[in-house]
Amino acid sequence: MFKLFLLCALAVAVRSEVPEEDDVLVLKKSNFEEALQAHPNILVEFYAPWCGHCKALVPEYAKAAGMLKAEGSAIRLGKVDATEETELAQEYGVRGYPTIKFFKGGDKEAPKEYSAGRQADDIVNWLKKRTGPAVTSLTEVTEAEAMIANNEVAIIGFFKDAESEDAKAFERAAESIDEIPFAVTSDEAIFSKFEVSKDGIVLFKKFDEGRNTFDGEMTKENILAFIKTNQLPLVIEFTEQTAPKIFGGEIKSHILMFVPKTAADFEAKMTEFKKAAEGFKGKILFIFIDSEVEDNQRILEFFGLKKEECPAIRLITLEDEMTKFKPDSELINAESITAFCTRFTEGKLRPHLMSQDIPEDWNKTPVSVLVGKNFEEVVFDPTKNVFVEFYAPWCGHCKQLAPIWDQLGEKYPWGSDTIIAKMDSTANEIESVKVHSFPTLKYFPEGDERKVIDYNGERTMEGFTKFLESGGKDGGAPAGEEGEEEEGDLDLDEEGEQEEDSDGEGGHDHDEF
């Protein structure tokens, strides 16, 4: 009997031992449910070993796990190699890397998508918000000092009456923000320590002026606007860690300064950039990008820039359609940047559309080569039907399509009623056509109506031929009215991590822009 009891105890002990690496639980299909039973609140990262964003996350993720463990928190962090644990990844709808999900209360049916930044403080604060009150109560000066010291940004509401309407508005605002810690106090000593004489809200931060005091009517909307304006530095560097804050923030107009940090005049350029930023706080996000960093080269390419052309300034809006703007002057000083931004806010700037030069032999090969400068003239020729592939040189699916597209060009040579063409959309932009994924295939039928038809059929010679012979009806739909696009093998996370590993079948695989 004792032996049976001992065996059962050992079996339970073995099941409960989930391996760890740097305080992060190593999860597999075989131990996932047991881990959730032992640790009901787990943040789980589904990663791929080759994924650059996953590699960049490793130290911050481990740091966050260590911070929680050191505090004695019951919240744990775990990770799943989704390339090995494919069944588990499929169960939770993993389509890009890293995918991060929070399993709360042991519930494995409906995990919450992680939505904050990728620095340790962001992760810890988000988890605390998800498992505890939106606002913590401070009763000691040391508690307030520790909160401010341990966070890049912290917000304290000073209210003599914690049940007042203003205090309730503060709490409602706190419930809307996951990545920043909020606290409230009625303690006179804390009021005195931070030189607050009446009810109010103070945002403490480890950059720029150090603190900002709310001034206005205390409504949830006003408080959130105040936080949005002050939570980021006047100038923020684009990195793997800051990208979620930059792209996930409320400010959708961004001015970018591309500059090598090793340049002798880097600090001087930054000083001028910051001076200009002061006048557009809360309206335009000022970002600098180290043009020498290898991981930033795709961004330079997106703006049609080369390293040797930096320093340079560009502005972009991230609304429904991304629109780029380029200053007339190459000067980088506070005066010229301020003038550029002012013209933008007044709606006086025209979008900057990139274009390569027209190649001499652009129509001498089976597939005609289009650029920004000859696009309109060719595709809207009323006497021609033009079928265009919008591609990116790095796109795996475009490379797979290339031999078929060349074959199609040979079937419809230059001089016939139908032109087969292609355009590198990373180097050429068209105001009348917006491209969001690669390859994008569009058909421009003859006539004066300037019609555009999206191709949604199979990417085969047979599929393309049927489409063209039917006048764009078999496999096509008017632009903007196509059906829901089937997702392909190649998935990516919010910053575009790519795995060019697809069989190319199925006709709907795309690489995102």
**In the structure encoding, which two tokens stand for residue 102, read together?**
């929070």
* Residue that the structure tokens 């990373």 belong to: 426
The active-site residue, picked from 8, 310, 341, 398, is 398
Is 54 in the active site? yes
In this structure, how many other beta carbons lie within 10 angstroms of the beta carbon of residue 278?
Answer: 12
Core vs surface per residue 410-431: b (16+ CB within 10 A) or e: eebeeeeebbbbbbbbbbbbbe
Handedness of CA 340, 346, 348, 349 (dihedral sign): positive
Task: Select from 206, 209, 319 the least CA-distant residue to 254.
Answer: 319
Asked if residue 226 lies in contact with residue 216, where contact means CB atoms within 8 angstroms, the answer is: yes
Is 8 in the active site? no
User: Hey, is 331 helix, strand or coil?
Assistant: coil
Is 395 in the active site? yes
Residue 248's alpha-carbon distances to 35, 220, 284, in angstroms, are 31, 20, 14
Distance CA 454, CA 95 (A): 25
Asked if residue 272 lies in contact with residue 331, where contact means CB atoms within 8 angstroms, the answer is: no
Is 51 in the active site? yes
Task: Select from 509, 494, 500 the least CA-distant residue to 53.
Answer: 494
Query: What single-letter DSSP state applies at residue 309?
Result: G
User: Hey, is 202 helix, strand or coil?
Assistant: strand
Distance CA 333, CA 223 (A): 33
Asked if residue 159 lies in contact with residue 187, where contact means CB atoms within 8 angstroms, the answer is: no
Distance CA 453, CA 392 (A): 20
Helix axes 266-277, 334-345, angle to 10 degrees: 40
Query: For the CA atoms of the chain, what is the radius of gyration?
Result: 28
Which residues partner with 157 through β-bridges? 184, 201
Q: Which residues are catalytic?
A: 51, 54, 395, 398
